[in-house]
Amino acid sequence: MTADNAMPLHWPEGDVTRVPYGAYSDPELYALEQQRIFRGPVWNFLCLEVQLPNAGDYRTTFVGEMPVIVVRDENGVINAMVNRCAHKGALVCHKERGNSRSLTCIYHSWSYDLRGKLEGVAFAKGVRGKGGMPADFDPGLRELEPLRVEIFCGLVFGTFSPETEPFEAYMGDAIGGFMKRNLNRPLRLLGSHSQILHNNWKLYAENLRDSYHATLLHTFYSAFNINRLDMEGAITLSQKGWHSISHAKRATLRADKEYKGANVHATKSDSKLAGPQLLKSWEEFDDGITHSIQTIFPTAAVQFILNSLAFRFFVPRGVDKTELFWIYLGYADDTPEQTRMRVMQSNLTGAAGLVSLEDGCINEFVQRGVRGSETHSAFMEMGGRDVASSEGSRATEVAVRGFWQGYREIMGIA
Amino acid sequence: MNDARARIEDFLSDYVHMIDDDRLEEWPEYFTPDGLYQITTQENYQADLLVGILSCEGRGMMSDRVWAAREANIYEPHRYCHLLGRPRIDKEDTGAYRVRANFTVVRTMQNGDTGIFVSGKYLDRIVFEDGEPKLKERRVILDSRRVDILIVYPI
């Protein structure tokens, strides 16, 4: 089958500035993504290494819609497998996390070791010599379906595809290097929660890469000079455009006249904070970067906003529903004062985040806005029509086009 | 204690009616000047994790939240209806009161969708300042780790 006649919707050839609105609601496309993207040549975020400190610790998560177990075995190795019993397909782990010496399906007590190998089948030899499995039953053929796992900077990733490149090559030097800047030290988990977005997962993937909207929609950003397009900044793309970094340097604010334009809602107030401890911060790095959002194709990102370090990942829960997880982090060697600043700044993002809560609804507004217009297309030519790093300006949709370039490549859309 | 109980119960009722009636500008006044307000999840609370969903230290941070809700943040209009359970009230040796009460918040969106938004418990420390009850601490512990759409109004 060729991509062209199998692919739902009309995709103008080679044009990453256009996306048919039906891409956010088409059930056939959604099903195809589960196979081609999530089981395809990508690294999916599974959990943090620090969430599995001990042998036998496990967590359940999702790759696309598929339920997955991540577990640390007796040798300290982290393994991942589909959370689906090789017998009838029931969830093997029905709790979100725990500690266990083996993984046992509660339905018929099939039991697996921490690598997913089948160890025991209840009544395999029958009862009183009757029943039981056929003589040629081979437990070696009935394991939990494994994922290949890689750990990078304390983050655990998994992939189904043998073709996925090693993680560092997948990210590329520039983006992988920035991840090391942010995460290559022992991490401390500060807290987490999640948020339901009533929109297709790709709208949030775009939203994360959309440096154009950030200071327009999230007016708290510009009102308090946390992130503005008139600060020095850039968009860095990985070689194929799949992953991106948007960064800004707060100390370089120029207060350009464009923000004073009457139509930019973002600057209608210059109020001072009554509780300035919200933004109390320190310079953690000597590169001057005080704001960054780094995306990892397809469904993850690292944020570093002032000192607020967090990992975000999102899980499709249906064609028009997405669960967004926020995991707040510090470093194991943070001082109490540094921890306190990270805790205060965590108010900026999350489901109630002063600079992020709008994303809880804005993607839903697109989902609702395009209803009935499935054959019309989004128009994304801000900053040009190309997919290349943007050194001077973040008034661009280049990283969003990069996402679509990656998506089309993997999906087989010409 | 009976008088204090009656006053605390009235105070807790006044708090939820203030939010349901959209009089958010009064919200910081329910706290002592250095009062603590947090929204977190049962999961974070049980694990003693420091970051929940929202955290305000002092009335200043609360009034910034109100300013943001009115002026900066953008969201679809909606309203809350809080249903409050009968509080358990215990007096501490310090003279402050430890108060625990269950709540449910029903949210109504502008299109008429009405549904349960959050449920959980308030864990409060209440002191009397100049004869008036004030929240020294209010920890809002949500049962679920998952928030539908967003939280912009206090709970």
Query: Is A335 an 8 Å CB contact of chain B?
Result: no
Q: Tell me the pLDDT tens digit for each residue of A351-385.
A: 999 999 999 999 999 999 999 999 999 999 999 99
Is the Cβ pair B39, A339 closer than 8 Å? no
Percent over 70 (pLDDT), chain A: 96
Q: What is the pLDDT of residue A383?
A: 93
CA B110/CA A16 separation, integer angstroms: 36
Residue A348 in contact with residue A339, Cβ under 8 Å? no
Q: A residues 212-241 near B, CB within 8 Å? A: 217, 219-220, 223
Integer angstrom CA distances of residue A50 from A53, A58, A190, A324, A378: 6, 12, 11, 20, 40
A57 alpha carbon, distance to own chain's centre: 23
Kindly tell me if the per-residue pLDDT of A155 is higher than 80.
yes
Q: What is the mean pLDDT of residues B121-144?
A: 97
Residue A268 has pLDDT above 90, yes or no: no
Is residue B151 within 8 angstroms of chain A, CB to CB? yes
Domains of chain B: 2-142 (3.10.450.50)
CB proximity A347 to B under 8 Å: yes
Number of cross-chain residue pairs from A and B with Cβ atoms under 8 Å apart: 129
The type of residue at A398 is: V
| SS3 per-residue string spanning A260-298 | HCCCCHHHCCCCCCCCHHHHCCCCCCCCCCCEEEEEECC
Task: Write the CATH number of the domain with boundaries A44-151.
Answer: 2.102.10.10
Are A323 and B146 in contact (CB < 8 Å)? yes
Confidence at A263, pLDDT banded by 50, 70, 90: low
Lowest average pLDDT, out of A270-274, B23-27, B54-58, B105-109, goes to: A270-274
Question: Which residue does chain B place closest to A188, by CA atoms?
Answer: B49
Q: Does B152 touch chain A (CB under 8 A)?
A: yes
Average predicted confidence (pLDDT) for chain A:
94
Residues of A in contact with B60 (CB under 8 A): 273-276
The predicted complex's ipTM stands at 0.97
Chain A touched by B49 (CB under 8 Å):
yes
Reference A301, options A381, A371, A245, A221; nearest CA is: A245
Residue type, position A403, single letter: F
Q: What architecture is the A175-411 domain classified under in CATH?
A: Alpha-Beta Complex (3.90)
- Would you say residue B107 has pLDDT above 80? yes
Q: Which residue has the tokens 């921890």?
A: A339
Distance CA A142, CA A118 (A): 6
* Contact (CB<8Å) A352/B54: yes
- Both tokens of B77, joined, read 């209009």
Q: What is the pLDDT of residues A279-334, one digit of tens each?
A: 999 999 999 999 999 999 999 999 999 999 999 999 999 999 999 999 999 999 99
Q: How far is A331 from chain B (nearest CA, A)?
A: 14
- Indicate if the pLDDT at residue A266 is higher than 60: no
Is B36 touching A (CB cutoff 8 A)?
A: no
Q: What is the reported pLDDT for A1? A: 42
Contact B68 A354 (CB under 8 A): yes
Interface of A with B in 164-203 (CB under 8 A): 189-198
Q: Is A367 on the interface with B (CB under 8 A)?
A: no
Provide the pLDDT confidence category of residue A67 given band limits of 50, 70 and 90. very high
Q: Distance from A162 to chain B by nearest Cα, in Å?
A: 34
* Among A317, A325, A347, the residue to mutate for chain B (most B Cβ within 10 A): A347
Of residues A74 and A252, more confidence is placed in A74
Domain range summary for chain A, segments of one domain joined by + = 44-151, 175-411
Using the Cβ of B120 and the Cβ atoms of chain A, whether some distance falls under 8 Å is answered with: no
Q: Greater confidence, A196 or A268?
A: A196
Comparing A207-216, A307-316, B94-103, which segment has the lowest mean pLDDT? A207-216
Per-residue pLDDT, averaged over A174-187, amounts to: 96
List of residues 6+ apart from B76 with CB closer than 8 A: A361, B109, B110, B149
Residue B83, min C-alpha distance to chain A (Å) = 21
